[in-house]
Structure 1
Amino acid sequence: MAELAALEDPRIREVNERHGDDHGVNLTKLRAVAKRLRTQQELARGLWDTGDTAARLLALLICRPQAFERDELDAMLREACTPKVQDWLVNYVVKKNPHVEELRLTWFDDPDPVVASASWGLTAERVAKKPAGLDLTGLLDIVEADMKDAPDRLQWAMNTCLAQIGIEHPEYRARAIEIGERLKVLEDYPTSPGCTSPFAPIWITEMVRRRNGE
């Protein structure tokens, strides 16, 4: 904890706080600490229990993802209070855990939009990599009905799922683009030069164009 405190940079904290994160540690330096420590599950649990955001990010880098029980991960997501911790928990730990599918289903209709957004993120991953058994028509129905008025993080995850359906599944592409065009979610999202807009119709069209070598 003393080492993490020494890495604190007020300028980084100021930038992070504008995005809802409450730490000021350079993530490259944090990853260097994690590389030195290597995998240490009990230390990871201890760091998580401090409640400190930088410590929790470090915990997620040095933990053993397969070692967590289902209920433990459920509790961790519900007490993860910042976007970066939530994102790293889902992408670095939950996705590699044997309970991932059970958690995806458990979180899908959760009243907490942050918890539900984790499920939609995991669902988008399945749409792209393991779509067998998914009701893609049903997912599009939910997106069409709920995405427009969803809270920001949930809306972003639902939009990602919408785009993945359109990109990966040609038979649903026209409907996915039509939903995006009608709802206009993220239509005006600021996008840096050279980057693809998260607006689903543009995102889908661009990714398909690249895959076709156009």
Structure 2
Amino acid sequence: MEPTRADLAHYLDHTLLKTDATADDVRRAAAEAVRLGVFALCVSPNMIPLDVDLGQVRLATVCGFPSGKHTAHVKAAEARQAVAAGADEVDMVIDIGLLKAGRDDDLIAEIAAVKREIPGVLKLIVESARLSDDQLVVACQAAEEAGADFVKTSTGFDPAGGASIHAVRLMARTVGGRLGIKASGGIRDYATAIAMIEAGATRIGCSASAQILAGAHS
């Protein structure tokens, strides 16, 4: 059975991470997030604290974004500051180079360093389009071992691509329901969002929230 509009909205992280976003853009995105009844609003860390009331909508932000090529210390400090400013959730970009070099222990240590700073939800962005299946499995295993709460496909900024059904399905199979799966990157319509959920996504990151919800049943 396909989800109702309200059910589908609860999957969505309404996202504004454009490099040229202004405070007014964030206010408009926040108002839209509240109007649509999405789960969370995700904005850049320098845009929080917000000067608007999100009601029941959670506030998410990013760290190590979008390249992941920051030290673990910097990522942890960025996450700590974001939480102190009001963020409920943090989406962190992993250092994909550590993963590809087989430095699993260093990757786990980086994730754990950030997780220690977050009383709420930590989602790990792994840029699945850049990974082989084996690497994607290792990324998911590292996320679980380090105590992360979600694995997330993409930043949406990498030219290699965004979310894919194959990646979401493999991620979901690897974590077996122990972690959430966030599909993000290129999800702009109802049919694609539903396909991602059917593949195993438990959260959808998108800027086209209104367009996605327009296709849902009331």
Higher Rg of the two aligned structures: 1
Is the pair's TM-score, using the shorter chain for normalization, greater than 0.5? Answer: no
> Higher relative contact order by CA 8 Å / sep ≥ 6: 1 or 2?
2
Return the structure number with greater helix share. Answer: 1
Return the structure number with greater strand share. Answer: 2
Give the TM interval when normalised to the shorter protein.
0.3 to 0.5
Q: TM-score, normalization: structure 2?
A: 0.35
